[in-house]
A and B are shown apart, each in its own frame.
Chain A
């Protein structure tokens, strides 16, 4: 494992080690580029993970102070927890369920496809499906996605069988056990899935891809990658010419250090990444770095989500086996006759008893609530995830008075559902209920969105510098050696779980950065 000097101004510094940062760091190192990843969280290995929902939540979650505003229900029920993401080496690839779906072609061109949607700040991506095809292929191979590269699908658990049976009765055709970055058989020095459950708590068999176990070790083995855990970046610094020169960070004891850099890549997820750019404001860049468009922090997307749980008169044991065990894709298409633009996926989901109590109906109590808990064993569950509309007013801002442990303003997350999001959720709830009713549900329940796991769009990609923060390579329009490498680049969210796309973009960006460095352009 490499160790680089803090005064070495030839390194690429990456802020964050999740799907974007961890992949980018490993790929750059494999190309021979000296790379330092600064990760705010600690390093927990596979054996440290816990099959215990609250125990794990305390171990790996990002729990630093955040505030919320807007009309979304999360702001009421979980006011200090807008997002359910990870602060640890590996980032939210520790927590993710593994669903690895490509965007549909039209989703790269949302503005053109959907037309004028009042209140939505839609824009086409400056890239398309043809451009991304080889990068998706590389990402799928790298992650070992089932149903690609000849890798068999995972076996379906009981929760999937309920979903599948109901979906077939309704005439749905695209029903299967998903394209999952979870080994169905041993591959790439990782074992096959043991159907443990607890995918959200960090995979204890190593079957699930994460940057922690699958990318970072490969990068470290090259001798070109150093990962520094417990190092939170506070500010990106720049020179008079407007190029970034390094980052100021705090170590685990709160001591501050300056790491010089040739290139800085921001990959702290869609709340921290814009926060860092805003907190790096200077006399030269008074509105924050890379913010000449005024779009830094705006267009925050979290996917249209919701869950349907159903009780049957016999046991399901939904918690046994992979958390996201299968999918119905028929509603992912764009079909405005349903009353909304864009589409959504239906994917199985399960929560353990402790989290079911917290999330089924936040704040719920009394006999009705207790009935649901009494029937936990007989429950099946699905998550609904679809494209939500970017809106300028859904945004991350710096709090006027609240400060974090380093004295920096905490982020506020403001969110209101768009009318399209509400119409889509209503439709999805109805179809989810119909699936379960088709196989004899005693009762169904519409669970509201959890704190956000898919945080997107706050440093969006655009053709023109006036419309967004980064160009088609994730390079900021304003500063040539400053990049954004996480889901905050997303111009629009598409219906699919975002990780595969984040990884594909990171692989593509590594190619670009290494090329520009060798040409001397950055």
Chain B
């Protein structure tokens, strides 16, 4: 996965207050994080939909070791795909709206401003059989865990053939057994 030009990681700050990661949206599709930690540009989805999906993505696979921008990058993949896929765009837009509707019913707040992670996850749980949820989840399996920049954060070293494999680099170096 190459660096996405539509997502900027501005500082190393982890944004979240109570796990909330989107501070707001602005003109031109701008979506930005708390503490100005990251910013993304929604090219095809509207900024509010994009912002909701970023929050949903973190709630689906929450990793404190991952900067918020990784989730924004994953959503950006869908945003790009929505350009030539009207069905996908509708699914994402309506799905995000449904999250907000459920959240409003529960706490009189939008999904991405609902402060309890448990409440947000309960909404996701109620929708996990939906095509929309599975689309977001499936996208993250590759969009998050196949992002080469994330690999070192999980202790995964990736390609090794060009380094001569691990024959001289610790293939059997376990020392605690």
Contacts and interface: CB of A to CB of B under 8 A. Distances in A.
Nearest to B150: A353
Interface stretch (A86-94, A373-381, A450-458): A373-381
Interface string B39-56: 000000000000000000
Given A158-B171, A205-B161, A353-B154, 19 more contacts: A51-B159, A54-B146, A158-B173, A194-B164, A195-B171, A196-B161, A196-B166, A315-B155, A316-B174, A321-B166, A353-B151, A354-B146, A356-B145, A357-B141, A357-B144, A357-B145, A367-B62, A376-B155, A439-B177
A194 B162 CA distance: 11
A370 B158 CA distance: 19
A321 B63 contact: no
A352 B155 CA distance: 10
A161 B177 contact: yes
B160 interface: yes
Interface string B44-82: 000000000000000011110100000000000000000
A352 B60 contact: no
B142 interface: yes
Contact of B172 (A156, A198, A315, A365): A156
- Do most interface residues of chain B lie in helix, strand or loop, or is the interface mixed? loop
Contact of B65 (A356, A363, A366, A374): A374
A522 to B, nearest CB: 45
18 contacts: A51-B159, A51-B160, A157-B171, A158-B174, A165-B177, A193-B167, A195-B166, A312-B176, A317-B170, A321-B171, A357-B145, A358-B145, A366-B121, A370-B61, A370-B63, A373-B63, A376-B154, A376-B156
B63 A374 contact: yes
Contacts of A373: 61, 63, 145, 154
B34 interface: no
Interface of A: 51-54, 155-158, 160-162, 165, 193-198, 204-205, 312, 314-317, 319-321, 352-354, 356-358, 363, 365-367, 369-370, 373-374, 376-377, 439
Contact of A161 (B124, B158, B161, B174): B174
A421 B172 CA distance: 34
B159 A377 contact: no
B156 to A, nearest CB: 4
8 tightest CB-CB pairs across the interface, nearest first?
Answer: A377-B155, A194-B165, A196-B165, A321-B171, A357-B145, A158-B174, A51-B159, A353-B156
A52 B159 contact: yes
Contacts of B9: none
A325 B171 CA distance: 11
A479 B160 CA distance: 49
Nearest to A194: B165
B157 interface: yes
B61 A352 contact: no
A320 B158 contact: no
B171 A358 contact: no
A61 to B, nearest CB: 15
Contacts of A204: 161
B177 A195 contact: no
A51 B161 contact: yes
A365 B137 contact: yes
Contacts of B154: 353, 373-374, 376-377
B128 to A, nearest CB: 8
A321 B63 CA distance: 27
Contacts of B167: 193-195
Contacts of A194: 161, 164-167
Q: Which of A54, A197, A312 has the most CB of B within 10 A?
A: A197
B54 to A, nearest CB: 16
B173 A366 contact: no
Contacts of A363: 137
Nearest to A367: B62
A160 B161 CA distance: 21
A245 B176 CA distance: 64
A319 B142 CA distance: 19
